[in-house]
Amino acid sequence: MLRWIDVIKFAKYSNPEPYRRLEKTDKEWKLKLTPEQYKVARQKETEPPYRNAYCRSYEPGLYACVGCGSHLFNSTEKYHAISGWPSFTQPVTKGAVKYAFDDSFKMSRIEVLCNVCDCHLGHVFPDGPEPGGLRYCINSECLIRLDE
Ligand SMILES: [Zn+2]
C-alpha cells in the first residue's frame, strides 16, 4: 500500500518503472482524443467539478487510461470524497501512475500522470481515508470504466 511518503519519494527521486511505454506526437493525440479529453489529458486543464462522468458513479469495474487503455484504478478503491471529482485511495498497481511536483496556480501539489503514456490524470493529496491516507483526485475525462 502506498502512503504519502512513497508519493513524495516517487516525485522527488524516481518514479516506479512502467510496464510498457507509449509515445505519440501532439498531432496524434489531437486525432485520438476528443477536444475535452485533449484539454485535460494533454494540456493539464481541470474539468468542472460534479459535472463529469464518474464523480458520483460507483459501478464495479476497472478504470483505464483514455490515452493508452492501461488499467489505472479499481472501483474497489473509489470513495466519496465530496470533491466533485472521482477519488481513489490507491492506484491499481504501484507502477500504474507516476508523480510530478506541480507548482502551478501558486499551489504546491503533486500531479498524477499515466505511467505508460504521460496523460495528465489529476493530483494526489494526503487527506484520504486510512490506512493509506491518500486521495487521488482524478478527472473523469482521463478515465474509461471497463465493466467487470
Ligand atoms: Zn495512458
Handedness of CA 107, 17, 78, 147 (dihedral sign): positive
Q: What is the pLDDT of residue 147?
A: 82
Cα separation, 127 vs 129, whole angstroms: 7
- Residue 137 annotated to the active site: yes
How many angstroms is it from 25 CA to the middle of ligand 1?
14
How many angstroms is it from 96 CA to the middle of ligand 1?
9
Q: Mean pLDDT, to the nearest integer, of 12-28? A: 96
Average predicted confidence (pLDDT) for the chain: 96
Name the architecture of domain 4-147: Beta Complex (2.170)
Task: Choose the catalytic residue: 65, 114, 137, 142.
Answer: 137
Amino acid symbol at 7: V
How many angstroms is it from 5 CA to the middle of ligand 1?
24
Q: Mean pLDDT, to the nearest integer, of 45-53? A: 95
Cα separation, 80 vs 88, whole angstroms: 9
Contact 101, 2 (CB under 8 A): no
Q: Is the pLDDT of residue 148 over 70?
A: no
> What is the tens place of the pLDDT at every residue in 54-81?
999 989 999 999 999 999 999 999 999 9
> What is the tens place of the pLDDT at every residue in 82-124?
899 999 999 999 999 999 999 988 889 999 999 999 999 999 9
Radius of gyration for the chain, computed over Cα atoms and rounded to the nearest angstrom: 14
Q: Which of 44, 29, 10 is nearest to 122 (CA)?
A: 44
**For the whole model, what pTM was predicted?**
0.96
How many angstroms is it from 4 CA to the middle of ligand 1?
23
Q: What is the pLDDT of residue 89?
A: 98
Q: What is the pLDDT of residue 37?
A: 98
97-104: long-range contacts, CB 8 A cutoff, minimum separation 24:
97/72, 97/121, 97/136, 98/10, 98/15, 98/16, 98/18, 99/7, 99/10, 99/11, 99/15, 99/124, 100/11, 101/11, 101/12, 104/44
Q: What is the pLDDT of residue 22?
A: 97
* Rounded percentage of the chain residues whose pLDDT exceeds 70: 99
Q: From start to end of the chain, where are the E strands?
A: 61-65, 71-74, 78-79, 87-88, 97-102, 109-114, 120-125, 135-138, 143-147
* Rounded percentage of the chain residues whose pLDDT exceeds 90: 93
- Listed by start position, the domains of the chain span 4-147
Q: What is the pLDDT of residue 82?
A: 86
Place of cell 473509489: 78
